[in-house]
A and B are shown apart, each in its own frame.
Chain A
Amino acid sequence: MRIRMRPGLDLQRLYDEHAQALFAFLLNFTRSEDDTREVLQEIFIKLARQPALLSGARDLRAFLLRLAHNSAIDLLRRRGARRKYHEQFGAEQLSAFADADTPDERAFREALAAALGELAEEQRAVVHLKIWEDLTFEQIAETLDIPPNTAASRYRYGIDKLRVRLRPLYDEIK
C-alpha cells in the first residue's frame, strides 16, 4: 500500500528514510517507547496535514529532528508530573540499544543506557545527535535552536560524564 498524501509529499518514503533516525533520537531523548511512538505519530500527522512545512527545509533530516525535538519537549512538559514519578521510582529503565552478542558488550550497552539516562535531557540530545547522527555542532545548533558554542559545551559535559561513568567497564572490556 503506497500512501501518497499530496503531490510532492510521499509520506511512506519519508517514513522509510527518516523514521529510524527519529525513533532513535526520540527513544534516547524521552526514555520511553510509548512517548516515542506518540511523538512519531504526531509528527507524521502534522506532515500529512501540512505538507508545506517541508517546503522550506534545506536539510530534511535536520528539519525532522528539530520537529521531533520540539514535539518531544511539548509532550514531556504535558507529562511533567508523570515523568517525575517514573524518574523517582525508576519505573522505566529503557535501553535504546540493540541486543548484544557477548556478555561484555551487553554489560557495556546496559551501562551506557543507564549513564545516558543520568544526563540532562538537553545534553543527551546533543550527545545523541553528535555520536549517532554524526551531525556537526552547527547542524546540532540549528536542529535544537541553540548557539553552536552551547551545543559544543553540552556535548563536552555530556561526553565527560559518560566517560567517567563508563571508564571502569570500558577499560575492562577494551
Chain B
Amino acid sequence: MNSDEFEHKLKRQPIRRIPADWRDDILQTAREQASPAAERSRPALIRAALIAWRELIQPFRYAWTGMAALWMVFWVVNARLEITDSPTRSAIVTSAATDRIRLFEEQRQVLVELTGRIDLSPVEPPQESRPKPRSERMIGIRSC
C-alpha cells in the first residue's frame, strides 16, 4: 500500500458536521457569560473570587500548585518533628534521669558505708541568687 495513497484516502474521509443547534446556544451562552450585567448580578464576594481566580490563580496554576506542594511537605515535616518531640519521649527521658539519680544515691550510700562517714545528709543545693536592686548592690560593694 502506497503511503501517499493511504494518506489521500484518509484525507477524503469527511468529518461529521457540527450540530446546527449548537450555534445559537453556544453564542448566546458566551454572550451572557461575558456581559457586564451577568458579572454584576453575582455577589461581590464571588465576583472578587472569580477575578482573583482568573487573573491571579489560573494563569500561574502550576506555580501555585508547586507552592501548595511545598507547603504540604513543610507541614508533613513539621508534623513528624512534633511527633518525635511528643510527651511520650519526654516521659522516657524523665524516667531515665530518675533511675540515674537513684543509682547515684545507692553508690553514695555504699561509699559512706565503706569510708565510715556518718554524714548522709544530702548536699544542699546552692542558694538561688536573686538579682538585687542596683542600690543594694552598691551598699554591698562599699561595705567591702
Q: Which residues does A use to contact B, with CB under 8 Å?
A: 1, 3, 5, 11-12, 15, 19-20, 23-24, 27-28, 37, 40-41, 44-45, 47-49, 95-98, 108-109, 112, 131-132, 134, 159, 162-163, 166-167, 170-171, 174
Chain B contacts for A97, CB-based, 8 A: 13-16
Query: Is the CB of B1 closer than 8 A to any CB of chain A?
Result: yes
CB of A56, distance to nearest CB on chain B (Å) = 15
Chain A contacts for B23, CB-based, 8 A: 15, 19
- Choose one: B1, B13, B29, B31; the contact of A112 (CB below 8 Å): B13
Residue among B5, B14, B27, B33 having the largest count of chain A Cβ atoms under 10 Å: B27
Instruction: Give the secondary structure class of A's interface.
Output: helix
Chain A contacts for B15, CB-based, 8 A: 23-24, 27-28, 96-98, 132
Cα-based distance from A128 to B30 in the complex (angstroms)? 27
Interface size class of B (residues with CB under 8 A): 20 to 34
CB of A141, distance to nearest CB on chain B (Å) = 19
A-B contact count (CB 8 A): 88
Instruction: Give the secondary structure class of B's interface.
Output: helix
Query: Is the CB of B93 closer than 8 A to any CB of chain A?
Result: no
The 4 closest A-B pairs by CB, nearest first: A48-B34, A24-B15, A44-B30, A23-B18
Cα-based distance from A97 to B15 in the complex (angstroms)? 4
Chain A contacts for B37, CB-based, 8 A: none
CB of A166, distance to nearest CB on chain B (Å) = 8
Query: Is the CB of B17 closer than 8 A to any CB of chain A?
Result: yes
The reply to whether A20 and B18 contact each other, CB–CB distance below 8 Å, is yes
**Which residue of chain A is the closest to B28 with respect to CB atoms?**
A3
